Amino acid sequence: MTAKSAFPAVPQRLGLYPVVDSVAWIARLLEAGVRTIQLRIKDKRDEEIEADVIAAIRLGERFEARLFINDYWRLAVKHRAYGVHLGQEDLDVADLDAIRAAGLRLGLSTHDNMEMDRALAARPSYIALGHVFPTNTKQMPSSPQGLEQLAAHIKVLGDYPTVAIGGISIDRVPAVLATGVGSVAVVSAITQSADWRAATAQLLELAGAGDE
Ligand SMILES: Cc1ncc(COP(=O)(O)OP(=O)(O)O)c(N)n1
Ligand SMILES: Cc1ncsc1CCOP(=O)(O)O
Ligand SMILES: [Mg+2]
């Protein structure tokens, strides 16, 4: 896949990509060396999370990290986040032109071929593919795509920046990376770990912090 993104580029390898629900997590993971990260707070009004979005963006800037805001694209644009992550339903309502005009990177979720085609038409900065394995973190309407399907999708996408998500535990990371995907996004592998520092260090060792 050689089509260039219509949004600012991200490195082809985003490396370890924790997806977390608080500024406290953003701060401790950036301190620990993470350089690609997402603030994912669900089901709040913009006014309720604006201060958190601002604080997360500031931290991202301070650590020269790639900080994506999930869902809340208006706040991300208003406060100039590094990027926004959107799902397929978000595509129905989000103003992609406004996100592009503000110079933000865009990541889009996909779960199958049809969604990949729809996402590619928007020419985002990266494509996320999931869920790879069963996950307890989010209720998913579809079945896990598994490693074979993930590898097939990565092959089609060629050098397009890609992110795998869903049920990725530390022991599964080598097999996920073997598909050629540029990044592994994780929630519970870090936030539900008995020792998040050790888990993060191990994940960084395996997946890296992403290309400069
Ligand atoms: C890196 C990454 N990939 C996928 C998702 C899921 O986004 P979405 O489908 O919009 O679902 P919600 O996260 O909004 O529940 C993600 N957040 N990050
Ligand atoms: C937000 C999201 N989107 C697809 S799977 C998922 C949750 C991933 O969480 P975990 O890494 O704990 O399986
Ligand atoms: Mg979403």
Residues within 5 A (CB) of ion ligand 3: 71, 87, 90
- How high is the ipTM of this complex? 0.99
User: How many whole angstroms from 107 Cα to the centroid of ligand 3?
Assistant: 10
- The ligand 1 site (C-beta within 6 Å) comprises 17, 19, 38, 40, 70-71, 85-87, 90, 107, 109, 128, 130, 138, 163, 165, 185
Q: In the structure, what pLDDT confidence band is assigned to residue 108 with cuts at 50, 70 and 90?
A: very high
List, as residue ranges, the binding site: 38-42, 70-71, 90, 109, 135-138, 167, 187-188
Q: Residue 34 is encoded by which pair of tokens? A: 């993470």
Among residues of the chain, what percentage have pLDDT more than 70?
A: 98
Q: In the structure, what pLDDT confidence band is assigned to residue 123 with cuts at 50, 70 and 90?
A: very high
Average pLDDT over residues 21-45: 98
pLDDT score at 212: 84
What tens digit of pLDDT does each residue of 126-164 get?
A: 999 999 999 999 999 999 999 999 999 999 999 999 999
Does residue 71 surpass a pLDDT of 70?
Answer: yes
Beta-strand relationship, 36-39 and 105-110 = unpaired
Task: Name the average pLDDT for the chain.
Answer: 96
Average pLDDT over residues 168-180: 98
Residue 129 near residue 110, CB atoms below 8 Å: yes
SS (H, E, C) the chain: CCCCCCCCCCCCCCEEEEEECCHHHHHHHHHCCCCEEEECCCCCCHHHHHHHHHHHHHHHHHCCCEEEEECCHHHHHHCCCCEEEECHHHHHHCCHHHHHHCCCEEEEEECCHHHHHHHHHCCCCEEEECCCCCCCCCCCCCCCCHHHHHHHHHHHHCCCCEEEECCCCHHHHHHHHCCCCCEEEECHHHHCCCCHHHHHHHHHHHHCCCCC
User: Is the Cα dihedral 122, 187, 148, 143 positive or negative?
Assistant: negative
pLDDT score at 3: 52
pLDDT score at 4: 57
